[in-house]
Amino acid sequence: MDFLNAFIALSNFVIIPAVAYGSQLALGALGVTLIYGILRFSNFAHGDTMAFGAMVTVLMTWFFQAQGVSLGPLPTALLALPFGILGCMLLVLVTDRAVYRFYRAQKAKPVIFVIVSLGVTFILNGIVRFIIGPDDQRFLDGERFIISARTFREMTGLREGLAFKTTQGITIVTAVVVVALLFWFLNRTRTGKSMRAYSDNEDLALLSGINPERVVMVTWLIVAALATTAGVLYGLDKSFKPFTYFQLLLPIFASAIVGGLGNPLGAIAGGFVIAFSEVTVTYAWKKVVTYIVPEEVAPSGLLQLLSTDYKFAVSFLILLIVLLFKPTGLFKGKAV
């Protein structure tokens, strides 16, 4: 029995990856939930908004790399991120002006908005593939590991290594900073308060003189920043491929709904619930269990509950369970 090694293996393969993935999902789900709270529709174009922001960042990163600019051990993408956010902000403001505003003025039903966002998805998908192509793109540079498995083993003398990738560290730090900024903005500033008021009760907010178009614009700007950050972090951690962002929609929506649509705190909690479930259910537990149990009963199989290809099924199942038993989500989102 060797609990220390078991714990290290668990951290290496489950806890750290799940925390990083959960932060990425949480940032994505925050965007979805803000749009839902303020504009009152499920934005199916969110995945492709992430892809667009990430694409601008990738292009800027390549530009910086070609110019010889770098951040030393940190990925150059961090330097390019603000430009990606600006590009994405421009994009969402243009789409809002050209597409969504018309339906807002008409007071169209939410489902019409959803269909319209599908059309936007199509167009964004086309633009991204047109500019950068459908293939995998690498834009990660700098130091690969904060601690590599080998250094950790040499440092501690344990059998299990603990690898902590730079991208994972950056993801977690960035997510904490972004979330702190967001909550400060929503709770402390005038604009943030007007956003919450608008989300809670539109009519009352209008009566007290809040300008709805301004609230909507600020929301889009925040969503663009969140989406780009989430997209870039995911792209750094895994790799940038336009189609994967579309597939991220399902876990992102699942996170937002599990937490309660329209509730930012819920979106974060939901992101981690989904990420931890996905990783634990698709992880082969053989290694960890072998350390804990006595040798005679050591497992022979992989002890993997579901093959990794079914990670979508995990988010979906959690989504179904929440829809069936607690349709407003864990944190009491908007009414059904």
Instruction: Name the minimum Å distance from CB 133 to another protein.
Output: 7
Structure tokens at 175: 């997510």
H or E segment at 222?
Answer: helix 212-237
Instruction: Name the minimum Å distance from CB 4 to another protein.
Output: 27
Residue corresponding to tokens 């390019």? 80
Q: Which is nearer to another protein, 83 or 246 (CB)?
A: 246
Maximum pairwise Cα distance, the chain: 73
**Which parts of 98-157 interact with another protein (CB under 8 A)?**
99, 102, 110-112, 114-116, 118-127, 129-131, 133-134
Candidates 13, 44, 220, 283: give the one binding another protein (CB under 8 A): 44
Q: What is the DSSP-derived secondary structure letter of residue 164?
A: E
- C-beta of residue 53 within 8 angstroms of C-beta of residue 73: no
Q: What region, left, alpha or beta, does residue 161 occupy, with left being phi > 0 and alpha being psi -120 to 50 degrees?
A: beta
- First CA to last CA distance, the chain: 49
- The answer to whether residue 319 forms part of the interface with another protein (CB under 8 A) is yes
Q: Which is nearer to another protein, 105 or 207 (CB)?
A: 105
Hey, which residues does 186 pair with through a beta bridge? none
> How many angstroms separate the Cα of 311 from the Cα of each of 55, 227, 275, 289?
25, 22, 9, 22
What x-and-dash track marks residues 274-313 binding another protein by CB under 8 A?
A: -------------------------------x-x-xx-xx
Q: Which is nearer to another protein, 131 or 181 (CB)?
A: 131
Structure tokens at 309: 């290809």
**Number of residues in contact with another protein, rule: CB under 8 A?**
47
Summarize as ranges the residues that interact with another protein (CB under 8 A): 41-42, 44, 99, 102, 110-112, 114-116, 118-127, 129-131, 133-134, 246-247, 249-250, 253-254, 257, 305, 307, 309-310, 312-313, 315-316, 319-320, 323-324, 327, 336
